[in-house]
Structure 1
Amino acid sequence: MSVIHAPLHPGEIVKNALFDDTELTVTEAAVRLKVDRSTLSRLLNGHAGISPDMAYRLSLLLNTSAEMWLNLQRDYDLWQVKHHSPKLKIEPLKEAA
């Protein structure tokens, strides 16, 4: 039986992208992104998600796409809901065709 692992919080991926192979500090990265250090720190520590604004900023700094960052956040959020929410008993409006 295979074990299903939760996806990494997008902040972990941002942390790797910003700080692996560089000597950049959180403060320096925040300055380059033009955000408060605390805003970046919350993301990096998994206490905040990636907003469209942050996705765009990351895309400019890291030469990636904003969509990539938003997709990572969407996938993480959806996994969390599916695996940590109570089982909802919602009846569909119609039977599937």
Structure 2
Amino acid sequence: MNKKIEPIHPGEILLEEFLIPMEISQYRLAQDISVPARRINEIVLGKRAITADTALRLSEYFGLSERFWLNLQIRYNLEVEKDRLKDRLKREIKKFEKVSYYSVTAEKK
């Protein structure tokens, strides 16, 4: 029985691993990093992606690298697209076949 684990949106990680344990409200975070509260709320709800701008602000605020936040978003995006396109990619893309130097030179003789 293979149960598919749904990709975790970075907003869920922001909420569950940072805001709740640190007792920081979405409003306070938004104020402290100078962004609209709606932006943080939409990220937490999984309706908005973490952009480079937001990643830089979160990294400065929490003392983590901006890549941490962007990598969360990129991994999420890749998993969502992989699930969405997996059958289609197998049908539409012909894999590159590596040709060795020796097979090419043998054909010329």
TM-score (normalised: structure 2):
0.77
SS of structure 2 residue aligned to 1:8: coil
Greater share of residues in helix: 2
Correspondence 1:18-57 to 2 at 5 A: 18-57=18-57
**CA deviation after TM superposition for structure 1 residue 44, in Å:** 0.7
Q: 1:95 pairs with 88, 97, 101, which one? A: 97
- Structure with more relative contact order (C-alpha pairs < 8 Å, separation 6 or more): 1
| AA aligned opposite 1:57 | R
Letter in 2 for 1:33: I
Conservation of the 8 A alpha-carbon contact between 1:18 and 1:29? no
SS of the counterpart of 2:22? coil
> Higher Cα Rg: structure 1 or 2?
2
Partner of 2:104: none
Match of 2:66 in 1: 66
Separation in structure 1 between the aligned mates of residue 70 and residue 98 of structure 2, nearest angstrom: 30
Length-normalised TM-score, structure 1: 0.86
SS at 1:21's partner residue? Answer: helix
Q: How far apart are residue 66 of structure 1 and its match? A: 0.5
Aligned to 1:5: 5
Query: Where does the alignment leave 5 or more consecutive residues of structure 1 unmatched?
Result: none
CA separation of 1:57/1:17 partners in 2, compared to 1, >3 Å: closer, same or farther? Answer: farther
1:81 matches 2:84: no
